[in-house]
Amino acid sequence: MDFAFTQVSDGPGDALLLDAYSQAVSGAAAAAHPAVVHIEVRGHDGPAGSGSGFFISPDGYLLTNSHLVHGARELTVFLADGRKLAADLIGDDPDTDLAALRVSADELTFLKFADSDAVRPGQIAIAIGSPMGFQQTVTAGIVSGLGRSLRGASGRSIDNIIQTDAALNPGNSGGPLVNTRGEVIGVNTAIIRPAQGICFAIASNTARWVLGWLIKEGRIRRSYIGVAGQNVPLLRKLMRHHRLEQSTGVLIAGLEPASPADRAGLHEGDILLALDGSATPTVDALHKLLTGDRVGERAIVTFLRGVELRRHAIIPLEMPARA
């Protein structure tokens, strides 16, 4: 039997779709790129690296990654219009890998934040930055996933991370991830090597909240109780005996002398179960509860010591700033 094959040519609809995609990406890039900057960092021993950032106000405030500028001695910002300006570090937060800088300039083009809670998988995502020093590089892809978590430089978990396949490389750190309206949906922060197309951005809603506090106070206030912990499973018989709904807790593996936990009578080997009635099944869950509004406030910590369930009063203190 003979088969006849008919070549299917691309119809005008395909060309229109391609053209619409190109226009969406190029339009967003054109709107956003004047607000994107290249940042060069000098440490105490010379050049320490470079990355990206973007203006969030017309009077010179800009956002970037903490891991890029933390501990920097000198910061230089290169604008899209060719200007080269010195920048001051207003504040940074290693726990969320975000930092705020400021340059002495006015009437700057700046980017607006989109609502990252409205972002959906599959929507177009456009990254702008300076990968490998190539300034104003534009890459495009889609939002691949939402609600991811990354471990920050401090060891705390950064939640609500956006995953994208828009290509990111060293130097993209701190640059914006924008939607087709040129609004920021995330701050580019990390890639997974040697994987391809797995890149991450800090959600815009997180960035907006952190930025407000960095501009106001230069840091994010958090509380601490002074324990080194690890996640451990609970014995089933203890869960049944004490009617515990959680199956894991936080084992105190280390205790700072004279810390809130030490003063509260906690010991190494105790297993933390809850703080003020909120369960602490993991170290990350405990970190989320230790917010700035708990500083100096009395709380009740629930824990296991051997087979005994105990509750002690504890007063978290403010976490010292990291050097």
Tokens of 99: 């930092």
The residue type found at 9 is: S
Q: Are 65 and 54 in contact (CB under 8 A)?
A: no
Among candidate residues 38, 67, 70, 287, the one labeled active-site is 67
Query: What is the rounded CA–CA span in Å between residue 80 and residue 287?
Result: 39
Interatomic CA distance for residues 323 and 257, integer angstroms: 20
SS3 state of residue 252? strand
State the catalytic residue, choosing from 93, 95, 97, 270: 97
| Count of Cβ atoms closer than 10 Å to residue 109 Cβ | 16
| Spatial CB neighbours of 154, under 8 Å, sequence gap ≥ 6 | 94, 95, 322
- Out of 173, 223, 270, 287, pick the active-site residue: 173
What 3-state DSSP class applies to 227? strand
Retrieve residue 278's tokens. Answer: 């909120």
Active site residue 93: no
Q: What is d(CA 262, CA 275) in angstroms, rounded to the nearest whole number?
A: 16
Whole-number Å distance between alpha carbons of 179 and 32: 10
How many angstroms separate the CA atoms of 32 and 107, rounded?
15
Strands 184-191 vs 46-55: parallel, antiparallel or unpaired: unpaired
CB 59 within 8 A of CB 109: no
Q: Among this protein's residues, is 66 annotated catalytic? A: no
Indicate if 154 belongs to the active site.
Answer: no
Residues marked active site are found at 67, 97, 173
